[in-house]
Structure 1
Amino acid sequence: MLRAGLLAVALLLPLIAAAQAVSDPTPLQYRDVTEEARFHALAAELRCVQCQNQSLADSNAQIAHDLRREVLMLMQQGNSDAQIKQFLVDRYGQFVLYRPLMDTRNSVLWFGPLVLVLVGAGVLVWVVRRRSRQVQPMGYSEERW
């Protein structure tokens, strides 16, 4: 029994060692401080397509490393922030933007919560008024104790 446990641990060790976080083998090379600041601001506005709840700047996924390199390359080619965002939207969809543009396709996401709160408040007011009409207030009776 002990041998089987040791064998299982020995077989799992390579998998555990391979499960370490991916690190970027070569750091990004910026031309100047301004480009670095622009890159970090842009990477903070973009979402990692794998992690979904992390920005491109915060993600450690391999695709995030690749996208950061691509964003920097596009910046160094002279593309504006809007052009870079449009390139990524064309490739990955509006999901890649942390603040998607307001249009008819995503208007439910922008106004849906407000509509739900207003409908809920309206239903609550209607129920309270309906119940208050049904309950008769207790009147004073003429009888004394």
Structure 2
Amino acid sequence: MITYDMDEMTEELDMDEGREQFLYQDDASPPNWTIGVGWNIQSKGLPDEIIDRLLAIGIHEAEGELDREFPFWRELSPIRQRVMVNMMYNMGADKFNQAEWPKFSEALIARNYPEVGKQMHDSSWRRQVKSRATRLRKMMERG
């Protein structure tokens, strides 16, 4: 039976290992890629519960970025909202915004979904993500 104080244990490890938000190489020989509080990501990877939590955080962040960049996005159909979240999640607000996607934005505001799809198709983003863009274009056009 474990009888130690979990709060004290957490505090000790936090102090001893340090807390890092970004990947770093630890002091082992050879060094291991590590993150967080001494989490050896190189050998352990990430548990599904952490991956799921990161995904949820990323979706929430994408929604907030959409609120700033495309404030009308919540007026779209649920399927089109998913397309917008997917694109923002993938590109981030520095690449997916009205200034970078002016024709897309104009067509979206006008609810001209064939033109929105064309702008998605004609983008450098489509050339990077290929089948994902094709699928999202169909979803956007059909709603």
The structure showing larger relative contact order (alpha-carbon pairs under 8 Å, at least 6 residues apart) is: 1
Normalised TM-score (structure 1): 0.32
Normalised TM-score (structure 2): 0.33
